[in-house]
Each structure stands twice: as C-alpha cells, then as structure tokens.
Copies of this chain bind each other. A is one copy, B any other.
Amino acid sequence: MSVHAASRHRVLIIGGGYGGLYAAKALDKAPVQVTLLDRRNFHLFSPLLYQVATGALAPSEIAQPLRLVLRKQRNARVLLGEAVDVDAAARTVSVADGTTIEYDTLIVATGTHHAYFGHDDWADHAGGLKTLEDALEMRARILASFERAESEPDEARRRSWMTFVIVGAGPTGVELAGALCEIARDALPRDFRAIDTTKAQVHLVEAADRVLPTYPPGLSRAAARQLRSLGTTVRTGTRVVGVDEHGVLVATEAEGEPVRIDAMTVLWAAGVTVARFGRALAEATDASTDRAGRIEVAADLTLPGHPEIFVVGDLAAAVWHDDRMVPGVAQGGIQGGKHAAATIKARLAGEPLPTFSFRDFGELATIGRLRAVADFRRVRFTGVVAWFLWVSIHIALLIGFQNRMLVMNRWIWSFLTRGRSNRLITHAGARPPPPDRD
C-alpha cells in the first residue's frame, strides 16, 4: 500500500486487444485506477481482418475506439502511445513520446505480429494480415491484380496476375483462400470485359501435412474438401523456400527440386513473432521465451519472480493443462484478461486468489458461403450448421452494438447479392510493374 492513503492501486494495461480490453472492463468499479495504453486508438477484432482484406467489410466495422468502449468506466483512462521499455524494479513503463508511467500492477497484452521465418525481404512481395493497414494493403493488392490482368495483353503474364498464393493454412489462410475463390467466382465476373475472373487460381501452401493443423484431423479433411470444391489448389506438406515479385518457390518432401509458382500476388498468413515491447519486457525481467518470442508465464499468468506483472493474450506462452498451450485466439485473451483483473481484485480485498483454467470453447473457421468447420470438443460440425454458428459467434464477439448491426447488414447483403461492396483501392494500389516488364 502506498503512503498516500487516498491514492489508489494503479493498474497499467498495455495493449487494447481482447486481453487488455477485457482486463480493463473487468476492473470496472474495483478500487483501482486503470490506465489503458495503446499505440492505436481503437480495439480491433482481428478474426475478421480477412473480411476487410477481401472486401466484405469496411475497416470501421471491425474496430471500435477504445475511448468509446471505456467512456462510462470512471476508474479507467485511455492513453495513446507506444510503450518502449519497462523498469521492473522502479515499476515504471517508458513511452515513445518520452513520458514515464508508474504502476503498481502491470498487465501486458501487446500480442504478436506476422514474421517471415527470418526472410524479412519477403515482406515486400508478400503482405501479412495483422493490422487494418495490412488488410487495406492486401485488398488493394488483390483488386489491383485483377485490374492489371484486365489491361495485360500477354497471356502468360495475365495468368500470373490472376494467380494468388496464400502461405499458411491456419484459420486466416483458409478463410482468405475461401473468400478469394468466392470473389473471383461470384463477385467480380460481370465487372471485367477482357478477363474471365472465374479462371483465377488460388494456391494454399502449408508446410504441415494438413490444413488447419491445430484442429482435429477430421475437420482438416472437411475444410480441405470444401476449399477444393470452391476451386482452391491445396498444397500441404509444402514449404515456401523463396518469394520474389514474380511468385514463390516451393519444396515438398517427395520432389527433389523446388518448384516455381508464377503469381504476382502472394499473401502471407504464416508465422508470428512478438512486438518490440514484448522483447523489452522479457529482457528486463529475465523471462524465458519460446521460439516465437512468446513469454513463458506461471500458472496464474504472472512472470516468475514478478507477481505484479501479468502477461495475457498471445504474447504469453501459457501452459493450460496436459502441456497444452492457451491458443492465441480471442478467447485466450478474453479469459486471460479477466483472470488478471480477478486476481488483482482478490489481492486488494485479501480474498483467496482465483486459479486460471482456460475454458476451451473449441475452434471455428469459415471457408465461404454456407461452408465452415466447427470443433466444440464434444461436438463437431461442418458445412451449413458450422457456418451459421461461425456467423453468430463472430457477431457476438464484436465490440459495440452499432458494429454488430452494420456487420450483420453487410453479411446479409453480401449473402443475398454475392457481392462485395468494399472494393476501394486506397493507400496502396497498383504496385509498380516488375523490372523485366517490356
């Protein structure tokens, strides 16, 4: 307790994703002073980023200003700024603008961003999907490819503009592949005169031996079948060994020599690494990290030796039970954030501390219109039922009533018309032609 009787316990939360935001909300009415610090002024519903990238939704529909979410919570304030370092002994966090914030308890939920397995030069040719800007850039690349194909007289190059390679067949890669096939098949054909967009090719490349490798094998098979029925070329057991402006080089166990896929558009849905502040935190506290840089936490989600520092969301490498890790999905963040808040409240009240146990609701991925797979552990679904479950759960997880209404309207509209109305090429647009173009 502080020497100032009046001063409240200060909780600093870094990151306004699911982990940070649910921690802040769960501290409502607690006798603490909450500061939520984020580089961005909004909460982002990242599971739907691929829908922004493929023109189904607008950016504002999957994001909500943090101030708006917390406006009625009087013990919480929002600060815009980038945390750069932590002094665990002094209990302060330094911010990029030069200021310093003191804390009594720190909750770190800064998440991960995509990584290129050490090949950072691939980033120029293969955009990832972690931010709204990424999504708009990816949307611009996809749409600009069709535009380039429309005005391309050379047959081989036109085919190359209409070939898309998606690297990584986790939920994001699978959902991207399905959406891309649907755009080419349903939304775009009547818009173009010179090209037949239904001839577009989508390759989904995955190093593991099946799509959705973290899902049960039966659902992987169902997802692969649904993807193929939409026209995706599923290439499992295939590693990407090179990316340049003309396509990718892939290698399989079976074949000796790497094979080239000529594709002007490569989308990256593989590999994550922790952001700058996560690395600074690990260094400052001598915390152990896993291969991707995720910070290993104790069973109560605190750092060993630092009960005042919680790490939640996908920045944390948290063991759940039987050596299974808490998955890096919205539910992992939500439950971790709520647990940190409950622990803080129990400590201040002198009550018994809660134990963290991840409640696994299962996994879901949508592949397209009326196509999805769902694994609720006790029960599994594929097809239409899974698709309706996917839609309902994602509407429920959105933050903000208006966003729920808007997204539902968009989805109903898209379902009825098979159209994609969010097709603006902004902020990025047509890449310069490759150097050898004559």
Contact = CB atoms under 8 A, between A and B. Distances in A.
Interface string A66-91: 01100110000111110000000000
Given A58-B59, A58-B60, A151-B97, A40 B80 contact: no
A322 interface: no
A409 B407 CA distance: 13
Interface in A182-224: 188, 190-194
A151 B100 CA distance: 11
Contact of A42 (B59, B79, B423): B423
Interface in A397-413: 400, 402-403, 406, 409, 413
Given A59-B58, A80-B147, A40 B425 contact: yes
A304 to B, nearest CB: 33
Contacts of A289: none
A81 B430 CA distance: 9
A218 to B, nearest CB: 39
A232 B421 CA distance: 37
Contacts of A433: 97
A140 to B, nearest CB: 9
Contacts of A40: 424-425, 429
How many copies of this chain does the complex contain?
2
Tier of interface size on chain A: 35 or more
A424 B60 contact: yes
B424 A65 contact: yes
Contacts of A151: 79-81, 97, 99
B80 A144 contact: yes
A311 interface: no
A133 interface: yes
Nearest to A147: B80
Interface string A368-410: 0000000000000000000000000000000010110010010
A194 B42 CA distance: 19
A401 to B, nearest CB: 10
A184 to B, nearest CB: 14
A422 interface: yes
Given A80-B430, A151-B79, A151-B97, A41 B425 contact: yes
Given A41-B147, A41-B425, A58-B61, 5 more contacts: A41-B424, A59-B424, A65-B424, A80-B147, A400-B421
Interface of A: 40-42, 58-61, 63-65, 67-68, 71-72, 77-81, 97, 99, 132-133, 143-144, 147-148, 150-151, 188, 190-194, 400, 402-403, 406, 409, 413, 419, 421-427, 429-430, 433
